[in-house]
Amino acid sequence: MANAGPKTGASNRPLVEHDLPTGGGDRVSAWIEQFVVVPKGAGAGKPMSLRPWQRDLISSAFDEPRPRLGLWSLPRGQGKSSLAAALGLYATHGDGVMGAQVCVVARDERQASLIFRTAVRMTELNPLLAKRSYVYTDRIYVPGSGSTLQMYPADPRSLEGLDPSLALIDEIGVVDRATFEVMLDASGKRPTSLTLCIGTPSEHGTDSVMYDLRRDMLENPDDPLTTFTEFAAPAGCALDDEEAWAVANPALHDFLFPDALRASLPPKTREARFRRARLGQWTSGADDSYMPPGLWPSRSTGVPIPKDAEVVLALDGSFSQDSTGLVAATISAAPHIDVAGHWANPGDEDWRVDVLAVEDAIRLACSKWRVKEITADPYRWQRTLQVLAKEGLPVTEFPQSAARMSPATIGLHEAALNGQVTHSGEKALAAHVANARVTEDVRGTRLRKDSKNSTHRIDLAVCAVMAWSRATFHASKKKRSKVAVW
């Protein structure tokens, strides 16, 4: 990444173009092939050679009369970031717009930086672009035209007052509605401004901006102000149908390899995720269930954790309007899981969990089993953790960040698939696991309710994920600490 601070020596001279078309998508494609160098992967270090399907995408957005709003829906692995970066550089250098403002917007700064870093590297690889650019940590400035390409996180407050000639909204499936609306409002100040949304079908389904855009554009295909292109496999196709793969993935057998799709087929990934990420298909909320139907019940032994077993305890829940759970898991490579306590709101608006009762349940569990660790997210349970620690009990913190929850969530799911976890069959835990849905995005995989205000509780499922994670951690630690005796 380029250094921050003032730069010197950038040329104000315009680029010398060789026999480029004067307008439309053909000009954009020809400019990219003349000035953009592939930064990585197939063809790295060589001029970008656009495929026919990429040319069609570009024409859909840049042919005259230009649309105001575009949506491209593609599965993963189609080179979306590279194509978007190339378009951003064209809009900065080659579109003939003085004071062009190209905005790269994504859910967070990390995601926005993927396109921006690619554009920076493309700039560095072409001396003609590099000589005409000031490259900063968050923007590329072209003094000859006063144009800027800049990245932004999806914070509506930071987007107010922009005047984009081109707004590239990456991963529109996970960008919130307020961000999209602010960018769309900002994009109406120039005669040919375009908001181009690029993404993959979202696990949020009908709650996503991308879903609404797609529906509206399908219902109004002749609207000259919008353009929509979707690559998706036929509905109902078999997951391993390679002809369907080819329909959904224009890059297949080019810079996307079939064995990469084959390696991610269920059960390695969930069916809903494979259909969204690899087949470009929309799935219903029920398809996002944490466990496939029947899997969790099949791991029940109907037997509680025996007395004096070595366990970890995991605590999760809210103080009101929901439920709180306490789950135990035996320390083993294949843990056995049981419920040590559950406090649920019976439907009373004034209900509050009895924190003292929760703490007493933890003490009772410690008298029943050999408790290696008591863990909870300190966000709500800091006081309880402090009280128990002062009593000499082994407490730890388990912040429910994506970095902690994602590997734990995936791990318990895989353990259930592979028969490496069992449970007592407790009904409340089974219900919470059945209620749990999965969110998958650039930050990882985490559990969620079926909707924000749902009364279908999942706290015990969250506890089970945490307990499984810590139990297997201690089990692996024990195994590594063994010393051979000769």
Of 143, 139, 131, residue with least CA distance to 164: 139
Amino acid at 266: P
Instruction: Write out the two tokens for 419.
Output: 């028969």
Instruction: Please indicate, yes or no, whether residues 79 and 127 belong to a single structural domain of this protein.
Output: yes
Residue 9 lies in a domain: no
Pair (305, 427) in one structural domain = yes
Q: How confident is the model at residue 319 (pLDDT cuts 50, 70, 90)?
A: low
In a shared domain, residues 193 and 276: no
Q: In the prediction, which pLDDT does 161 show? A: 86
Q: Are residues 221 and 115 located together in one domain of the fold?
A: yes
Percent of the chain with pLDDT over 70: 94
> Do 65 and 84 sit in the same domain of this protein?
yes
Distance between alpha carbon 317 and the CA centroid of its chain, in Å?
24
What integer pLDDT is reported at residue 202 of this predicted model?
A: 84
The CATH number assigned to the domain holding 31 equals 3.40.50.300
The answer on pLDDT for 484 being more than 50 is no
CA 45 to chain centre: 29
Q: Is the pLDDT at 236 greater than 70, yes or no? A: yes
Mean pLDDT value across residues 31-50 = 95
b/e for 36-68, b at 16 or more Cβ within 10 A?
Answer: bbbbeeeeeeeebebeeebbebbebbbbeebbb
Averaged pLDDT, 227-240: 95
Cα separation, 200 vs 302, whole angstroms = 42
In-domain check, residue 257: yes
Q: Are residues 179 and 251 in the same domain?
A: no
Q: Enumerate residues 6+ apart whose C-beta is below 8 A from 215.
A: none
The pLDDT, as a whole number, for residue 424 is: 97
Domain identity same for 329 and 472: yes
Predicted confidence (pLDDT) at residue 283 exceeds the cutoff of 60 = yes
Residues paired with residue 373 on neighbouring β-strands, in sequence order: 312
* 352, 421: one domain: yes
Range(s) of the domain holding residue 78: 24-231
Q: Is residue 288 part of a domain?
A: no
**Model confidence pLDDT, tens digit, residues 146-195:** 999 999 987 888 888 899 999 999 999 988 899 999 999 998 788 889 99
Mean pLDDT of 109-137: 94
pLDDT higher than 90, residue 342: yes
* Cα(243)–Cα(254) distance, integer angstroms: 15
Q: In terms of pLDDT, which residue wins out, 322 or 480? A: 322
The alpha-carbon radius of gyration of the chain (Å, integer) is: 27
Reply yes or no on whether the pLDDT at 73 is more than 80. Answer: yes
- Contacting residues for 204 by C-beta, under 8 A, at least 6 apart: 173, 174, 211, 439
pLDDT of residue 24: 95
Residues 464 and 348 grouped into a single domain:
yes
Host H or E run for residue 196: strand 194-199
Indicate whether 336 and 402 sit together in one domain. yes
Q: How far apart are the first and last CA of the chain?
A: 53
Q: How confident is the model at residue 441 (pLDDT cuts 50, 70, 90)?
A: low
What CA–CA distance (Å, rounded) separates 154 from 105?
6
The pLDDT confidence band at residue 5, using thresholds 50, 70 and 90, is very low
Domain boundary among 211, 231, 251: 231
Would residue 16 count as lying in a domain?
no
196 plus 249 within the same structural domain: no
- Does residue 480 have a pLDDT over 60? no
More confident residue, 398 or 208: 398
Position 98 pLDDT exceeds 60: yes
- Give me the number of domains the chain comprises: 3
Q: Does residue 207 share a domain with residue 261? A: no
Residue 438: pLDDT band with limits 50, 70, 90: confident
For residue 193, give Cα distances in angstroms to 209, 222, 225, 236. Answer: 20, 19, 11, 38
Of 422 and 445, the one with more pLDDT: 422
Half-sphere exposure (Cβ direction) of 313: Cα atoms closer than 13 Å: 29
Q: Which structure tokens are listed for 199?
A: 């993404």
Q: What is the pLDDT of residue 276?
A: 92
Is residue 354 in some structural domain? yes
Q: How confident is the model at residue 437 (pLDDT cuts 50, 70, 90)?
A: confident
361 within some domain: yes
CA 353, CA 119: separation in Å to the nearest integer?
52
| Whole-number average pLDDT of the chain | 91
Band the pLDDT of 6: cuts 50, 70, 90: very low
Task: Kindly tell me if the per-residue pLDDT of 485 is higher than 80.
Answer: no
With pLDDT > 90 as the criterion, what percentage of the chain qualifies? 72
Distance CA 248, CA 231 (A): 5
The answer to whether 339 and 325 are in contact (CB under 8 A) is yes
Token digits of residue 255: 């810079």
